[in-house]
Structure formats: structure tokens, C-alpha cells
Amino acid sequence: MSVVVIGAGLSGLSAACHLVGRGHEVTLVERHDAAGGRGLRLRRDGFTFDTGPTVMTMPDLVGDALTAAGTSLHDALPMRLLDPAYRARFDDGSQILVRHGVEAMRQEIADTCGSVDAASFVDFVDWLRKLYRVEMPHFIDANFDSPLDLMANPRAAARLVRLGGFRRLGPVIRDWFRDERLHRLFSFQALYAGLSPENALALYAVITYMDSIEGVWWPEGGMDAVPAALATAASKAGADLRYGATVSRLVLDRRGAVAGLELESGERIRADAVVCTLDLPTAYEQLLPQLSAPRVVRSGSYSPSAVVWHVGARGLPAEGTAHHNIHFGSDWDGAFRALIDDRRLMPDPSRLVSVPSLTEPGLAPPGDSALYVLEPVPNLSAGIDWEREREPMRERLHGFLTANGYPDEVLTEELVTPLEWQQLGMHQGTPFSLAHTFLQTGPFRPGNLDRRVPGLVFAGSGTVPGVGVPMVLVSGKLAAERVDAYLPGPHHGRDTR
Ligand SMILES: Cc1cc2nc3c(=O)[nH]c(=O)nc-3n(C[C@H](O)[C@H](O)[C@H](O)COP(=O)(O)OP(=O)(O)OC[C@H]3O[C@@H](n4cnc5c(N)ncnc54)[C@H](O)[C@@H]3O)c2cc1C
């Protein structure tokens, strides 16, 4: 049975690996000339930049896809653990390193915040582990057909309630720690889910577990090595990868079921099933114009976006700079209020600065630095005029680099705003898709099937389980399970699930 996957981002590559491992005949079509999706590579003036994700967590999920396609993480994608995972800088000039390993982090907290919080950290890790163990198999790595599926395993649901998963993240973290800096350090991850810690459910502390406890990794060569390894594995296992091929519409049979797709070139590719990884609103608009998208896709609440400034700069950063540096602004609650409630730029922004050339010097000419500066900003529903706002934003980011000990003589640069994310097909100009409010999570998130179109399966950040590298890798696997259920029969795959 032939399956076509649209999109060689991480979700599409994961789907392709899992599908080919299950014995399907797989074709993957990608409009760009390389794999990577949001995480494409930009090479300029001797500098190399990764344009999308930089914080790589849960490498075993990449490993699952690689194993499904007959190779392994160890063989195909060597990675280095980053310790510290982050250097957090606060407005009072202090800093806390997020160290790898419970003992190292306990000691760091003891040194910076005192013994009471250090002791709490050990129990906090235990709580995070329990949360992760109940959420991963039952609520993340799971296909849902209806909200009732939440109760498919009542014991798991009850356990999540007992662990406080349905309380709000902000207050839960405040219960664990006294030092306000730790509140920020262990709850800012809510923003990855498009929410403020005060609105995010405590179950999103699993993101904190994934980065602060399980660790942040660096794939040798750069983030781009992840899609490259998955693409190579899928191809070696027999998938046909076609780059420079833009899909213009899905072809349906008389029943309305998937029969294939048409490329912009006019070529048609037959398919028994299609896995589509476009942002959901764009998928409906461009590939299925005859159908209206589900309500939550059309009018749900979309996450804030981000401005990313890629800078090739002369010189090296100040001593003590880490690969990933989070600079917290002073007014924490005000920042979230501005960004999410009022939909305006944060008055005193928190920013992420990654300096991958510290870990991988080949990304910059000798003695220079490749910098990635990210500031969360409202998505396009805020009506900010980014044509006008670009230059002032660049100036502010430049001043911020200067003030914080980063090299600031710009040799080459690229500023990406919500306008560019929109041009790439991301609804409301956000690369982070639907926010993970309760009613846009799990069985309430747009599902990966549209019952009106048998044989069509979605993957990627707009569907289950959600946003971010670990989640979209899982979404690819969930999509492969859906295809298997739709196209039953012996596929003789090596993926044993
Ligand atoms: C700036 C930024 C920073 C991020 N930071 C992190 C981070 O640190 N850690 C983390 O875990 N996550 C992070 N994320 C989120 C993470 O990168 C995404 O959730 C994930 O990469 C999305 O993968 P995807 O496969 O769903 O989508 P995509 O990567 O967008 O893949 C979709 C693919 O479909 C292709 N396509 C679209 N239309 C067509 C068409 N008509 N025909 C053919 N092909 C088509 C596109 O070219 C693309 O390759 C970040 C994202 C961004 C943008």
C-alpha cells in the first residue's frame, strides 16, 4: 500500500521512518530542496545558522524513529549533552546554571538560592518523573478518538489529578520553591506551550522535566543533523524522498477518500493514504479548499510568535557564556500580560541567546561567533506592523547584545519576524501553532484524522500531541499508527511498536 507524506520537517520524517519500518511503500514530498522544515540551515559569509529549534531534548524519540527505519541513534546521530543546559541571567545581575544531574543541580541551587530550595529540588525531580511517567504513555503518545478516551485509563487520569496536574503551573512551582528566580527557571517552559505559567496546567511541567532533568543535547554538526539523519534513514530503508516538489492539492476518489495528490508541476502521485504535516489552517486552505477546517483550527487561540535574529559577529562572547543563555526581564507577570493578554511587545523582554559556535566552532570563522537571539512577540493577530517594527527591534536586540557581553560587531545577519513565518505558511505568523490551553490539548486538540476524508492523516504541531521537537516526533509515530489502522494487512515491517 502506498503512503505519501507531505513535508520533510521532523513530523513528516518521523512518520516516514515509522511507516517504512512498518513495511509501507513511502514517498515523501517536500517543497524545499532539503529536509528540516522550520529547522532549515542558513549558510552565509562563512557562518552557519539553524533557523528553527535550538533546544534539543528527548533524543530517544528521534532514536525511536531511527530504529523503526533500521538504524539507531548511536550510529546515525551522535549527540553531546550540554551542561549547563541553560545559563539563566536575572535583572539583578545574578545567574543560575541549569546543571545536568540531580546532584549537580541540587548543589547549584544550594549555592545560589540556599539549602531549603536545594532540598526541595530533589523532591521536585521525583514529582516531575512521576508526572512524565503517567503523561507520556497515556496522554502524549496516544491517539484520541473522543474526549471520553481521557478516561480510557481511569487510574492514569486519577493519578494525574492526584499529582496536581490539573492545577496551574505558576502556583504549583511557587509551592515547591521560595526563591523567585527558581519560579521563573522552572515555569518559563509554559511559553513553549504558548501560555503564561499562571494559565498553563501544571501537567506542562513535563516540558521542564524534558529540558531541565532529562537534559539538553547538541547533535554533532548542528540541529540540522537531526532531520538529515532521519531523511537518510528513511531513504536507506526504501522511502522515496522527493525534494523541490510542492503539493498543490489532494486528489480524492468518488467516496471522498484520499486517492493521491497533485504537485504544482501538474504531476499526480497516487496514494492509498496521505500524511499531511502542513500547519492545519494552511492544509485546509491550500490542499482541501472544498472543506471547511474544524472550528478550533479556524478560530482557536494561537500561540505567540518569535522574532529570531541570526547574527554572525566578530569575536567571542564574554567568559562564562553558555551555549544557551536565558535573560529574564524584571517584570515577569507583566511580560506575560503584555505578550499574551494585551498582545503587545514585552516592555522588558526575556530573551534566549544561543551561541552554538561555542560548542561547534566550525559554525563560524575562527575567532568569530554564530549567535541566535530569540524574543517572544505577539502573533500577527496583534496587528503589529512588522515592516515598520523590524529596524527598531533590530536596534534593541543589538543594544541588548552589547549590554550583555556578546560580540556585537555584526558581519552578517538575518532577522526573522512573524511576517516571514506567515510567508512560510504558518497561521497568524506563529511557528508555535495552537496554544496548549486545556481546550486545545489532548482529545480537545484538532485530531489527526478528518472523518470526511478517509485516508488523510495529519501530523505536526497543529495536531496531537502538540508543539516542539519531542511532540512532533511523536505525532509522526501516531500518524503511522493511524495509517496502519486504515490500511490493515501484513506490511512485514521491522517496527514492532
Ligand atoms: C524559531 C523556532 C524555535 C524553536 N525552538 C524550539 C526548541 O528550541 N525546541 C523544540 O523542541 N522546538 C522548538 N521549536 C518548535 C519546533 O521546531 C517545531 O514544533 C517543529 O520543528 C515543527 O515540525 P513540523 O514537522 O510539524 O513542521 P515543519 O518543520 O514546518 O514541516 C512542514 C514541512 O512541510 C513542507 N511543506 C509545506 N507546504 C508544502 C507543500 N505544499 N508541499 C510540499 N511540502 C510542503 C515545509 O516546507 C516543511 O518542510 C521552534 C520552532 C521555531 C520556528
Separation between Cα atoms, residue 89 and residue 29, nearest integer Å: 43
Same domain, 110 and 196: yes
pLDDT of residue 490: 58
| CATH number assigned to the domain comprising residue 249 | 3.50.50.60
pLDDT in tens, 16-66: 999 999 999 999 999 999 999 998 899 999 999 999 999 999 999 999 999
Is residue 418 included in any domain, yes or no?
Answer: yes
pLDDT in tens, 238-297: 999 999 999 999 999 999 999 999 999 999 999 999 999 999 999 999 999 999 999 999
Say how many domains are in the chain.
3
Domain that holds residue 145: 101-214
429 lines ligand 1 (CB under 6 A): no
User: Considering 195, 214, 233, which residue would you say is the last residue of a domain?
Assistant: 214
354 lines ligand 1 (CB under 6 A): no
312 lines ligand 1 (CB under 6 A): no
Which atom of ligand 1 lies at the shortest distance from residue 460's CA?
26
Which atom of ligand 1 lies at the shortest distance from residue 14's CA?
25
Is residue 334 included in any domain, yes or no?
Answer: yes
Report the residue among 57, 61, 211, 277 best suited for mutation to probe ligand 1: largest number of ligand atoms under 8 A from its CB: 277
462 lines ligand 1 (CB under 6 A): no
Query: Is 447 within 8 Å of 145 (Cβ atoms)?
Result: yes
Q: What are phi and psi of 335, to 5 degrees?
A: -65, -45
Q: What percent of the chain has pLDDT over 70?
A: 98
User: Considering 174, 198, 214, which residue would you say is the last residue of a domain?
Assistant: 214
Separation between Cα atoms, residue 1 and residue 236, nearest integer Å: 19
CA of 461 to the centre of ligand 1 (A): 8
Is residue 94 included in any domain, yes or no?
Answer: no
Same domain, 108 and 254: no
Cis link prior to 446 (omega < 30° from 0)? no
Same domain, 308 and 276: no
Query: Is 481 within 8 Å of 143 (Cβ atoms)?
Result: yes
235 lines ligand 1 (CB under 6 A): no
Round the average pLDDT of the chain to a whole number and report it: 96
Q: What nine digits make up the cell of 132?
A: 512524565
Same domain, 6 and 20: yes
pLDDT in tens, 421-480: 999 999 999 999 999 998 999 989 999 999 999 999 999 999 999 999 999 999 999 999
32 lines ligand 1 (CB under 6 A): yes
For range 184-210, the mean pLDDT: 95
CA of 38 to the centre of ligand 1 (A): 3
Separation between Cα atoms, residue 126 and residue 106, nearest integer Å: 13
Determine whether 322 is exposed, middle or buried from the number of CB atoms within 10 Å of its CB (0-12, 13-18, 19+): buried
473 lines ligand 1 (CB under 6 A): no
Is residue 120 included in any domain, yes or no?
Answer: yes
Same domain, 133 and 237: no
Q: What are phi and psi of 251, to 5 degrees?
A: -105, 125
Q: What percent of the chain has pLDDT over 90?
A: 94
pLDDT at 496 over 50: no
pLDDT in tens, 346-384: 999 999 999 999 999 999 999 999 999 999 999 999 999
Q: What nine digits make up the cell of 426?
A: 504558518
Separation between Cα atoms, residue 117 and residue 283, nearest integer Å: 47
DSSP 3-state assignment of 12?
helix
Q: What is the DSSP letter of 356?
A: G
Is residue 419 included in any domain, yes or no?
Answer: yes
Same domain, 196 and 242: no
386 forms beta bridges with: none
Looking up cell 560548542 gives 359
The angle, 0 to 180 degrees and rounded to 10, between the axes of the packed helices 10-21 and 469-486 is: 40
Distance set, CA 472 to CA 17, 240, 276 (Å): 13, 21, 12
Separation between Cα atoms, residue 448 and residue 432, nearest integer Å: 17
Same domain, 311 and 422: yes
Which atom of ligand 1 lies at the shortest distance from residue 55's CA?
8
CA of 305 to the centre of ligand 1 (A): 13
4 lines ligand 1 (CB under 6 A): no
pLDDT at 305 over 80: yes
Is residue 62 included in any domain, yes or no?
Answer: yes
Separation between Cα atoms, residue 474 and residue 289, nearest integer Å: 28
Same domain, 202 and 226: no
288 forms beta bridges with: none
Query: Is 287 within 8 Å of 274 (Cβ atoms)?
Result: no
12 lines ligand 1 (CB under 6 A): yes
Say what the pTM is: 0.97
271 lines ligand 1 (CB under 6 A): no
CA of 14 to the centre of ligand 1 (A): 12
Give me the DSSP letters along 37-100.
GGG-EEEETTEEEE-S---B--HHHHHHHHHHTT--HHHH--EEEESSSEEEE-TTS-EEEE-S
Same domain, 207 and 105: yes
For range 164-175, the mean pLDDT: 96
CA of 106 to the centre of ligand 1 (A): 35
Same domain, 125 and 183: yes
466 lines ligand 1 (CB under 6 A): no
437 lines ligand 1 (CB under 6 A): no
Which atom of ligand 1 lies at the shortest distance from residue 57's CA?
11
Report the residue among 6, 11, 28, 38 best suited for mutation to probe ligand 1: largest number of ligand atoms under 8 A from its CB: 38
DSSP 3-state assignment of 122?
helix
CA of 231 to the centre of ligand 1 (A): 15
Give 1's pLDDT tier (boundaries 50, 70, 90).
Answer: confident
pLDDT of residue 149: 82
User: Considering 196, 214, 232, which residue would you say is the last residue of a domain?
Assistant: 214
Is residue 66 included in any domain, yes or no?
Answer: yes
173 lines ligand 1 (CB under 6 A): no
pLDDT of residue 497: 42
Same domain, 314 and 391: yes
277 lines ligand 1 (CB under 6 A): yes
Nearest CA to ligand 1 atom 33: 7
CA of 220 to the centre of ligand 1 (A): 20
Same domain, 310 and 354: yes
Is residue 491 included in any domain, yes or no?
Answer: no
Separation between Cα atoms, residue 219 and residue 1, nearest integer Å: 34
The residue type of 56 is M
